[in-house]
Amino acid sequence: MRSFVVILLTFAMASGLASAEDLRATPTGSQIEKLQADQIDIEYVESASPEMRPVYDLVKKAEVLEKIRSMLVDLRLPRRLLLKMRSCEGKDDAWYDEAGVTVCYEFVDQIWKKVPERTTPGGITPMDALVGPIVDAFLHEAGHAIFDLWKVPILGREETAADYFSAYLMLQFNKQEAHRLIMGTAYQYLEYVRSKKEVTIPLTKLADQHETPAQRLYNVLCIAYGSDTQEFGDLVTKGYLPKERADDCKEEYQQQAHAFDKLLSSYFEPGLTQTLNAHKLPPADRPPPRRGAR
């Protein structure tokens, strides 16, 4: 029986059934495994706007795209994926479309503006407040790309699934780097929840495709805590994650891990965890260039 299957598969491959276009529909395990990883292209578009020139210089010098590409080197895709950074006429946005992933310099600038002068009382360093949200943005958009290119089934909101995809990958880094990425990512949302018991927002905000910043914050903190309650125990003791939510986060993480394993792991080379585990972020105690010092 097995040899019969092998013959059939060999025939399918030889007759060209496994071309990239065919794979967009319903790939089988063996077809996916035939695909090559290392499918990411990168491009820094020189900023036309003088205001965004410092951001262009910052990300180019820091080799942001090269580093993101190395995080995604194990990704198998039916075609190449371009990661691009450019200025967007004042729009601080990031998205995925047919052309690939685009992150605007204005988007990075918004993150850069909010970087704290010094390490926060909660232990978030200026470097992590800059690096975490940038990595999160690219991984989130890469999530959209994978969902689209592989036609991954999603039950629920794609924006939330992309957030979890990003958080799950960040948690595959070694413990120390994972902690830095999660807290850096959290930092961008913290201003919305800091020292507030209640928030007032226009009702229509709740209709957004994305969850509210506070929900996105608690989601990422919850699966981080659930992945390792020791390593991320400080999220609860420092009051970032309410105990009521924390109680079930282990199950939430296991649910994400199961979904990733069933739906997404075959789109990565088996070495994904080792690749991310070995990845080094810029030193946490090195201060990033100050936005004001231009």
Positions touching Zn ion (CB under 5 A) are 159, 162
- Tokens representing residue 100 in the block: 């690939």
Q: Which is nearer to Zn ion, 91 or 294 (CB)?
A: 91
Nearest distance, CB of residue 209 and Zn ion, angstroms: 8
Nearest distance, CB of residue 148 and Zn ion, angstroms: 11
Nearest distance, CB of residue 206 and Zn ion, angstroms: 17
Nearest distance, CB of residue 169 and Zn ion, angstroms: 15
Nearest distance, CB of residue 163 and Zn ion, angstroms: 8
Q: Which is nearer to Zn ion, 70 or 160 (CB)?
A: 160
Nearest distance, CB of residue 79 and Zn ion, angstroms: 20
Q: Rounded to whole angstroms, how far apart are CA atoms 267 and 275?
A: 15
Q: Which is nearer to Zn ion, 124 or 167 (CB)?
A: 167
Q: Which is nearer to Zn ion, 75 or 142 (CB)?
A: 142
Q: Which is nearer to Zn ion, 104 or 124 (CB)?
A: 104
Nearest distance, CB of residue 155 and Zn ion, angstroms: 17
Q: Rounded to whole angstroms, how far apart are CA atoms 20 and 263?
A: 19
Q: How many other CB atoms are found less than 10 A from the CB of residue 90? A: 11
Nearest distance, CB of residue 214 and Zn ion, angstroms: 17
CA 105, 106, 110, 113 torsion-angle sign: positive
Q: Which is nearer to Zn ion, 86 or 140 (CB)?
A: 140
Q: Which is nearer to Zn ion, 95 or 192 (CB)?
A: 95
Q: Which is nearer to Zn ion, 92 or 159 (CB)?
A: 159
Q: In three state form, how does the secondary structure of the chain look? A: CHHHHHHHHHHHHHCCCCCHHHHCCCCCHHHHHHCCCCCEEEEECCCCCHHHHHHHHHHHHCCHHHHHHHHCCCECCCCCEEEEEECCCCCCCEEEECCEEEEEHHHHHHHHHHCCCCCCCCCCCHHHHHHHHHHHHHHHHHHHHHHHHCCCCCCCCHHHHHHHHHHHHHCCCCHHHHHHHHHHHHHHHHHHHCCCCCCCCCHHHHHCCCCCHHHHHHHHHHHHHHHCCCCCCHHHHCCCCCHHHHCCHHHHHHHHHHHHHHHHHHHECCCHHHHHHHCCCCCCCCCCCCCCCC
